[in-house]
Amino acid sequence: MNKQKRARQILLYALYITSVCCLQVTFPGFFRLFGRTADLMLVFTVFAGYLFGPVDGIVVGLIVGLFRDYFSGPVVMGLNQEPVALLGIGMLSFMYIGLLSALLFRKRFRRKLFLGILQVELMTLIYYVSGHVLSYIYFSVSRTMTSYHSLRYVVVSCILPQLLVNAIAALPILLVLRFIGPYSKGVRSALVDGYSMEDKQWQSV
């Protein structure tokens, strides 16, 4: 990749990441449907990994996670029974989202465009299910709460609407990434993952 292409890639990634992160936390009401806000950060990270491979997925995941930690990092009870804001949870979880998005079903999906939405749904499911399971464990162990959300609430009011809202938000992000960049022509030619791209079945619509 020559310098010009590299600069374009970095510039576009920086633009996308700041836009996606800032939009989600500044105007959550605009992206809200069925009581849930579209998780633009998660959708973007999934697509970075799914379309452009594990390295892009991990790097984007780390940066998006850093933004998430910075803007609204999770709060837990500290050792002195005072709430403390944690740093790093967003980075860790989004790094793995980026990595998993690049690796899961890569042979089956072949990074085809609209199957990316399926990957977003899968990653949303993994993120929210694991988030609720870990929260449940944390509250049970720390005994800071006597009760947790009912399973029905988690499934019907949290996960299902979130899947729907993320799927809607995924379409414009997917089209922008595929047809504007960060890579010219929307395809990262270097990304073959050991498979030939000559059969034109990879990264096709």
Determine how many CB atoms are found less than 10 A away from the CB of residue 11. Answer: 12
Tell whether residue 74 is a contact of other proteins (CB under 8 A): yes
Beta carbon of residue 83, minimum distance to other proteins (angstroms, whole number)? 4
What single-letter DSSP state applies at residue 114?
T
Among 144, 189, 201, 204, binds other proteins (CB under 8 A): 144
Is residue 182 reached through a cis peptide bond, with omega within 30 degrees of 0 on the bond before it?
yes
Among 131, 164, 167, 184, binds other proteins (CB under 8 A): 131
Alpha helices in 53-194 (DSSP H): 54-72, 89-103, 106-109, 115-142, 151-152, 160-179
For residue 25, count CB atoms less than 10 angstroms from its CB and return exposed for 0-12, middle for 13-18, buried for 19 or more.
middle
Give the CA-trace dihedral at 12, 120, 56, 128, to 10 degrees. Answer: 110
Tell whether residue 13 is a contact of other proteins (CB under 8 A): no
Tell whether residue 156 is a contact of other proteins (CB under 8 A): no
Among 39, 44, 100, 181, binds other proteins (CB under 8 A): 39
Among 49, 53, 57, 90, binds other proteins (CB under 8 A): 90
Binding site for other proteins (CB under 8 A): 18-19, 22-29, 37, 39, 41, 54, 58, 62, 66-80, 82-92, 95, 99, 128, 131-132, 135, 139, 144-145, 147-149, 153, 157-158
